[in-house]
Chain A
């Protein structure tokens, strides 16, 4: 059975309007994928800023677990440990 852990999600300023202005959210999830699934249920507009309709993380959004980009670990299946920080950050791009 999957282990649940309490982690912190750091929300970028541009998306805080979709979670009552909160800069951090706290939830229990064993993986990044499960954390996003919980966000989809609890804060659908915030989730929509991170993932598109197909469930893919948006092209210009990066997810970090602590200091590691999830693409350098196990992607959305990256395991979360108690106390981990999942940071949502927009990429440096545009003009």
Chain B
């Protein structure tokens, strides 16, 4: 079968799946699956027969994981969703990240309140990962506006990077058995200490598979005019690490705002990275004029990509998992908005087109070529 581009679009009212030929000429839309229930995380698992996963976060009746083995034509609940042990005292409030693990069936899942779960059977049973879920810092983390969420899971051999809002970046070098806060250079604007050991409001972390030591972070920026204790904290919002996340430095210079949620790395070039700057107070597009910004030199300089996007009166937000890129030779970017628009940025973001303009508010967009 010819390769297809598949988008998994998690919204406030369920999951949608869009599919197109490699030319990306026109997309067919299916869904909503888990109708009426918010989907905050999705995964397109391309190990073997492709499987699509999505969290179905029902505020009435609890959290579920949906799974499809027919490329998003039908979905069923897995046999179980992550759940805290009975005597733990915490209750699952949301599912924020789903990622592949080892082998063909291992999955990792980050939840709210911030904790990590692992499944060895494709999501039918889950075990809490105590090294981070019961970390000595865990009961000291505070929820951000979106909740106390573990939203990023990046794996590189025995290294595991986690992003927690608000908790910061945690690093394991023993396969997830133990974790350490690893936030040197990661600032915070909402506590007196501008560079605390942990507790930063990390929004998203990304990396290129072939350059595992290089990480990019969209942190909670927008503190350049802060006049309280500790003084202003400019440019703490967009960061880079070149030592597997042990230390971080700002790469925000040149951006219109260092606040934003998603950060995406070009699938073929570890030096090319994309962000979506937002005004820190409103969390909407600066001046009502949305743009994706691209750096092709690892964050040393930035260029605005807005051809085809609205030029004015556009005040949407793009959430942390709502931007991605496909892996075709000349990749396309995709982002979904809180106003229910799904945009495609052809030619690596040079030319933007609205694919769907009236979906429910979009929480996450995942892309794969299968």
Contacts and interface: CB of A to CB of B under 8 A. Distances in A.
Nearest to B83: A53
Contacts, number: 43
B62 A54 contact: no
A36 to B, nearest CB: 14
Interface in A32-87: 48-50, 52-56, 58-61
B89 A58 contact: no
Contacts of B89: 54
Contacts of A10: none
Contact of A48 (B62, B85, B88, B90): B62
Contact of A58 (B60, B86, B88): B60
Interface in A8-22: 14-15
A21 B120 CA distance: 30
B90 A90 contact: no
A2 interface: no
Q: Main secondary structure on chain B at its contact with chain A?
A: loop
Nearest to A52: B91
A94 B59 CA distance: 8
A1 interface: no
B27 interface: no
Interface string B59-95: 1111000000000000000000001111011111000
Contacts of B92: 52-53
Given A53-B83, A53-B84, A60 B90 contact: no
A64 to B, nearest CB: 15
Contacts of A94: 59-60
Give the size range of A's interface with the partner: 10 to 19
Q: Main secondary structure on chain A at its contact with chain B?
A: loop
A49 to B, nearest CB: 4
Contacts of B83: 48, 53
Nearest to B84: A53
A55 B88 CA distance: 11
A55 B90 CA distance: 10
B91 A60 contact: no
Contacts of B90: 53-54
B229 to A, nearest CB: 36
A46 B92 CA distance: 16
A93 B92 CA distance: 19
B35 to A, nearest CB: 11
Counting chain A CB atoms within 10 Å of each CB, the highest count among B61, B84, B90 belongs to: B61
Counting chain B CB atoms within 10 Å of each CB, the highest count among A52, A53, A61, A93 belongs to: A53
Contacts of A58: 60-62
Contacts of A56: 91
B86 A14 contact: no
22 contacts: A14-B60, A14-B61, A48-B83, A49-B60, A52-B92, A53-B83, A53-B84, A53-B86, A53-B91, A54-B84, A54-B89, A54-B91, A55-B86, A58-B60, A58-B62, A59-B59, A60-B59, A60-B60, A61-B60, A61-B61, A91-B60, A94-B60
Interface of A: 14-15, 48-50, 52-56, 58-61, 90-91, 93-94
Given A52-B62, A58-B60, A94-B59, 18 more contacts: A14-B61, A49-B60, A49-B62, A50-B61, A52-B91, A53-B83, A53-B85, A53-B88, A53-B91, A54-B89, A54-B90, A54-B91, A56-B91, A58-B62, A60-B59, A60-B60, A90-B61, A93-B59
